[in-house]
Amino acid sequence: MIDIHSHILPGIDDGALSMSETIEMIEIARATGTTALVASPHADTQYSYEPERIEELLAEARAQAGPGIALVRGCDFHLMLSNIEAALKNPSRYTIGGKCYVLMELSDMLIFPNTGAIWTELEAAGMRIILTHPERNPLLRQRLELIEEWVAQGRYMQVTAQSLLGVFGPKAYEFAVRLLDRGLVHFLASDGHNVRHRPPRLDQGFEWVARKYSPRLAQLLCVEHPRAVLAGEPLDLSEFPPTREKRGLMERILRRGQ
């Protein structure tokens, strides 16, 4: 599996507190089946995003973590004027692996009416938008039609794996399911922040999607689509979303309690 969203690097945002915690988080990811992990620190009004410092920390983490998992630079890009101006001048500063995909987080206090127009400018500069955890945004939970519009325009949606496990509450869970039911989820990611409460684990989300929908959808959300992101290639949506597997009545009844 490939995890495109995590906060594993120490001391630069609200993620890992130390390099030892970083290494422990990497080990959790590797032990639970993740083979590539994107470190995506926040770029917002609270946290300064410095690619050079991020690369230094990644180099240190790679040296200590050893083989078996690739560590890639990314960014949790917040939509604000300074970020937009900088990204238009140098898109690869914020994109995953310096390619073309960027993780985009919207405020849960205000969705700008011109958000789509701003994204169009960023796309014209070569960026492809992946909106992070819409199921956890109370404003977006009331605007399903807006998400549908954005997806129709070629934007992508990333749901947090733990939302499917109920970690972020029933509203996030229910909206994540609505998005999945409508074929509006393109990625699962951990958004891991620490070792105990928000570990960088994708395996449980993968298993949940495989059980509730289909193994093929789990493969697309956790392996094939993220692999295209790391390569900077277009997503192959020719079979997306795959047909949901039909289950017998008794199995469906039993699954409701899981």
Give tens-digit pLDDT for 33-72. 999 999 999 999 999 999 999 999 999 999 999 899 999 9
Question: In the Cβ-directed half-sphere of 258, how many Cα atoms lie within 13 Å?
Answer: 11
pLDDT tens by residue, 185-238: 999 999 999 999 999 999 999 999 999 999 999 999 999 999 999 999 999 999
pLDDT tens by residue, 6-27: 999 999 999 999 999 999 999 9
pTM over the 0.85 mark:
yes
d(CA 84, CA 96): 16
Question: Which pLDDT score, from 0 to 100, does residue 254 have?
Answer: 47
Domain that holds residue 38: 2-255
- What's the CATH number where 48 sits? 3.20.20.140
pLDDT at 253 over 60: no
Residues 173 and 198: beta-carbon distance below 8 Å = no
Question: Which pLDDT score, from 0 to 100, does residue 244 have?
Answer: 80
- The count of domains in the chain is 1
d(CA 153, CA 129): 11
pLDDT at 249 over 60: no
Which DSSP category does 164 fall into? G
pLDDT at 255 over 80: no
d(CA 226, CA 34): 11
pLDDT at 31 over 60: yes
pLDDT tens by residue, 72-89: 999 999 999 999 999 999
pLDDT tens by residue, 109-138: 999 999 999 999 999 999 999 999 999 999
